[in-house]
Structure formats: C-alpha cells, structure tokens
C-alpha cells in the first residue's frame, strides 16, 4: 500500500513529461513556420525591388510561381500544426479526467 501512491505519482510525472515534450515540439514547429512566413515576406519585397517587368519574363514568372506556392504550403503546414495542437489539448483534457477518476478510486480504496 505504501508504494501505491509513489507509483501513481511516478506515472503522473511520466505522463506530464511526455505531454510537455509534445507541446514543446508543437511550439518549435509553430515558431519555425512563423519564421518562414516572415522570411517569405522579406524575400517577396526584395524580389519586387530587384525585378522589373522588362527583365527576363520566364525567370520572373518562375519566381512569381514559387512565391505564390510557398504561402499556400506554409499555411497548410500551419493548419496542420494547429490541428496537432488541438489534438494534444484534447488528449490532455482526457488524461486529466482519467487521472482524476483514477486517483479518486485509488486513494479512496
């Protein structure tokens, strides 16, 4: 009986650490996406300043296509990151409710 509460605390700490790692990973991914969006904006301004319509039309069109595709890609990644964050939040709420019900049954017995 003495080790029961110690085991319970150890399990809770392990779950907390696992959740913290998942959340840290999501925050890092989100920060990287935000940095990429900021970089894209600065590169966009640089291209607008450097290229004039009378330049090589093919290279200008390629750059336009690349820069038009990049924000779409980044927005999709950002959406996936937000969905993953929501899934972690839901899992966290579920784990907390399970832990509460487990602790009430373990400690009341």
Which tokens sit at 36? 């990429």
- Say how far apart CA 53 and CA 55 lie, in whole Å: 5
Average pLDDT over residues 57-77: 80
DSSP string, 21-85: HHHHHHHHHHHHHHHHHHHHHHHHHHHHHH--TTS-HHHHHHHHHHHHHHHHHHHHHHHHHHHHH
Give the other-Cβ count within 10 Å of 33's Cβ.
19
Q: Is the pLDDT of residue 108 over 60?
A: no
Average pLDDT over residues 63-92: 84
Domain count across the chain? 1
Q: List the domain range (segments joined by +) for residue 88.
A: 2-108
pLDDT of residue 97: 82
Which tokens sit at 4? 């029961």
Given pLDDT bands bounded at 50, 70 and 90, which one contains residue 12?
A: confident
pLDDT of residue 78: 86
pLDDT of residue 56: 65
Dihedral angle, C-alpha 97, 102, 103, 108, nearest 10 °: 130
Which tokens sit at 64? 């336009």
Closest CA to 50 of 61, 60, 40: 60
């Amino acid at each position: 009986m003495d080790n029961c509460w110690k085991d319970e605390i150890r399990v809770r700490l392990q779950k907390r650490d696992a959740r913290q790692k998942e959340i840290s990973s999501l925050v890092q991914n989100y920060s990287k996406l935000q940095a990429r969006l900021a970089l894209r904006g600065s590169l966009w301004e640089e291209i607008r300043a450097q290229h004039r319509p009378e330049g090589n039309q093919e290279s200008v069109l390629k750059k336009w296509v690349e820069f038009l595709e990049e924000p779409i890609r980044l927005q999709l990644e950002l959406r996936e990151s937000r969905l993953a964050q929501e899934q972690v939040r839901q899992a966290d709420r579920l784990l907390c409710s399970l832990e509460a019900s487990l602790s009430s049954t373990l400690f009341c017995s």
